[in-house]
Structure 1
Amino acid sequence: MRQRLRRIGSAVCRGGLLLSLALGGPSLAGAQADADAPAAAVEPSLEEESVAAEEGSAGDKTRPSPHWVDSSHAYATNRAQALAQWMDDFFGAPIADAERANSFVRAILIDDWDERDGHDPKLRLRGQVNLPKISSRADLVFSGEEAEQTLTEEERAQENDVGVRFNFRDSNRTRLDATVSLRSGPALLPGVRFRYQQPISENSWGRFTQRLQYHTEDGYRALSNFDLNRILSEDTLIRWGGRLRYREDKEFWDWNTGITYRRWFKDHKDFPSAIEYYVAMSGRDKPQTFETNYRIGVLYRRQFFREFLFYEIEPNYNWRRDEFEDKREGVLGIVFRLEVMLDESLIRTER
């Protein structure tokens, strides 16, 4: 088992070497708000983050934030963290949604096509509802809202559950929460989640998340996520991310690692947009350690017509091998997404 874990760790770390070297490089110009950018696309300044943190520590949740993209930057401590969190918010990353303070819902219509399996249309819902009558720290969460961003589209679609989450601690560096969810089957999933984040330099920032769950039908689960972020300019970011997971019912470890380059476009006056280029690889350790997929792709996301409407186009290419004995196969694919995203602050703004 130790040798197996060492092989997995070595494979996961390959993608991080380049970015780790970059973290030691000279500091570049940090991200700052563009005066002509729309309100929805403005990255919060460090001064704004400090004020938000003070208000958050005082427990003041009565005043709505100016716009939904600013709703989860309460603890940004440097430019890398502020830009990384803004990008996660704009792309609708599940890891960002898991730490939102307000109620929200995302309805996403997806058409996932590839030349091997054809079209796979689906509707995915996720969100949370605050439960102030129970506790200011309690939320009702549903439909895989807490699924980590390194999960594949297929894995996210399987994370359909409804539950109650209680936030024990939420500070500058750490967050600890517990969730009890009900999943189709039916099955009960109690679990805890711990997050630690730390500035590395003025333009670099790291984050680690650990989740432990117990599935009443499938047994124990453990999921570790980590990412390193580096600002390249005021509107671009590079990230190395990795995931290591164990499920008792599968009896093997699987992993995923990749590098993404994100850029925010400021030239759209009415509605912001951003693009992501990525390369990734995934694998598992049984029957022996091997790579199940190499993936390369581009994701373009844009807000359109109204502040709560988004579309995404994601062409990609995969070199898959489902089983160790299989021959690797190249598969071209493209994913279309249409999303409606509503939360309390946006509704108030519209009024």
Structure 2
Amino acid sequence: MLQNITIFMIVGMLCAPVTLAEEEQQPWLDSLHDSVTGSVNSTAVWLDDFFADENFNIDELPNGGARISLGWEPRSRDIMEFETKIRVKFNLPNLENQVDIVFSDFDEDLERAPVKAAQNEVLSTQNRFNLALKWTHPQSKDSVWSHRIGVGRKAQPYARTRYAARGEFSESQRYRWEISGYFYSQEGLGSHFGVQLEQDLADFSVMRLDNNFFFRDETNDWLWQHNLYAMQQLSDSSALITGIYLEGLSQPNYRIEEYLISSRWRKNALREWLYFELEPFILWRRDESFSASYGIALRVEGFFGDY
């Protein structure tokens, strides 16, 4: 049922232009937004009460934010590829706003990737359904430490520490890098190292090169990813990301496992909190003898509360 609703919402809203009069005739969107936002903030208040101290009076109210994404990613060898992602975080004043509670069924490492279609099945499955406490410690305006403890990857207790920093080579050239280490009770140790380089091409266009390496203690190998893509702002409410994505493993040797090219169009429409995406792509995979598989991803994404 959810899959049918997802297809209906995405295809209908992407294909049918909506006038101002029609927008005013869709109050269910506002009701949906108010309902989800109210539920998230009510939960934040409930959680914050656990850490309340009667000796201190805090005027700031707790709040939360949610990000919900629904998608359908059919391709020539798998037309039934559906995607549902939820991420909720709570800001709690009684913890001095230094600790966030995060519930998520997708990981930030994957979410930052410019290519959304056909993401690594191993990582996306392992990182679903995380519940964690997250501490963030800015070292400067360009660097930050963050720590997380919680439960994830099929209910395994885990802990993770990450350091990220950014800077500039010049006014038109920038970089960002991060390194993290983590431990899962069953899978053992792991780590991630990532470097991003960015070059301005024009006033509203940027080229980026992403490189990521994930070490997995359970399989004693490295999963690597390389992305080269251009981002162009088309208007105040739309953008286009086009590029190539490569992924591989270090065992039995350093070799590519899959690669694809895609062009992702993202549009803010109907409401300021609502986004739509259209991403045609071509995928080549080793387990499919690197025979081209053609697909198109359709997504709708909503932001609720203080996200």
Fold shared by both chains (TM-score > 0.5): yes
For the 8 Å contact 2:127–2:153, the answer to whether it is kept is no
One-letter code aligned to 2:73? D
The Cα of 1:156 is off from its aligned counterpart by 3.6
2:173 matched residue in structure 1: 204
The one-character-per-residue Cα deviations of 1:212-258 (angstroms, maximum 9, x if unpaired) are: 11011111111111101111111111101111011111221110101
Name the TM-score, length of structure 2 as normaliser: 0.73
Residue pair 1:204, 1:230 contacting (<8 A) in 2 also: yes
CA contact (8 A) 1:231 1:237 kept: yes
Given candidates 162, 167, 172, the residue that maps to 1:193 is 162
User: 1:159 is matched by which residue type in structure 2?
Assistant: N
Over residues 164-202 of structure 1, what are the superposed CA-to-partner deviations in whole Å (9 max), with x where a residue is unaligned?
101123422210010012125321110101001111101
Given that 2:126 and 2:153 are in contact with CA atoms closer than 8 Å, whether structure 1 keeps it comes out as no
Counterpart of 2:79 in structure 1: which amino acid? Answer: G
Could you list the runs of 5+ residues in structure 2 that have no partner in the other structure?
Answer: 1-62
Match of 2:225 among 256, 265, 273: 256
- CA distance in 1: counterparts of 2:259 and 2:232, whole angstroms: 23
Task: Specify the structure having the higher radius of gyration (Cα).
Answer: 2
Instruction: Please show how residues 39-188 of structure 1 align to structure 2 within 5 Å.
Output: 103-143=64-104, 144-148=106-110, 149-150=112-113, 152=119, 154=121, 155-156=123-124, 158-160=126-128, 161-183=130-152, 185-188=154-157
**Separation of aligned partners in 2, 1:255 and 1:184:** 20
CA contact (8 A) 1:127 1:145 kept: no
TM-score by length of 1: 0.64
Q: Which residue of 2 aligns with 1:306?
A: 271
For residue 250 of structure 2, what is the aligned residue in structure 1?
Answer: 285
- Give the C-alpha shift of residue 327 in structure 1: 2.8
- Secondary structure of 1:208's counterpart equals strand
Q: CA–CA distance in 2 between the matches of 1:153 and 1:285?
A: 15
* Cα 1:130–1:182 shift into 2, 3 Å: same
User: Does structure 2 retain, via aligned residues, the 8 Å contact 1:126–1:145?
Assistant: no
Higher strand share: 2
Q: Provide closer, same or farther for how the CA distance between residues 121 and 258 of structure 1 changes in structure 2, counting only shifts above 3 A.
A: same
Q: Does 1:331 align with 2:293?
A: yes
The higher relative CO (CA closer than 8 Å, separation ≥ 6) is in: 1
Equivalences, count: 237
Q: Is the 8 A contact 1:124 1:157 kept in 2?
A: no
Q: Deviations over 1:43-101 (max 9, x none)?
A: xxxxxxxxxxxxxxxxxxxxxxxxxxxxxxxxxxxxxxxxxxxxxxxxxxxxxxxxxxx
CA deviation after TM superposition for structure 1 residue 127, in Å: 3.2
Give the superposition deviation at 1:157. Answer: 5.3
Q: Gaps (5+ residues) in structure 1?
A: 1-101, 346-351
Distance, in Å, in 2 between the alignment partners of 1:223 and 1:159 is 14
State the partner residue of 1:31: none
Given that residues 126 and 154 in structure 2 are in contact (C-alpha distance below 8 angstroms), is that contact kept between their aligned partners in structure 1? no
Instruction: Tell me the residue number matched to 1:227.
Output: 196
2:213 paired residue number = 244
**Residue identity matched to 1:332:** Y
CA contact (8 A) 1:220 1:248 kept: yes
Q: Secondary structure at the match of 1:147?
A: helix
Hey, what's the Cα distance between the residues in 2 that align with 1:281 and 1:159? 20
Rounded to whole Å, the distance in 1 between the matches of 2:139 and 2:84 is: 31
Cα distance in 2, alignment partners of residues 106 and 327 from structure 1? 36
In structure 2, C-alpha distance between the alignment counterparts of 1:159 and 1:203, rounded to whole Å: 35
Contact 1:319/1:331 (<8 A) preserved: yes
Q: For 1:113, what is the secondary structure of its paired residue? A: coil
Helix, strand or coil for the counterpart of 1:117?
Answer: coil
Distance in 1 separating the partners of 2:209 and 2:65: 28
Residue aligning to 1:274:
239
Distance 1:229 1:286 in 2: 30
> Are 2:306 and 1:318 aligned?
no
User: Structure 2: how far apart are the matches of 1:334 and 1:157?
Assistant: 21
Distance 2:124 2:80 in 1: 17
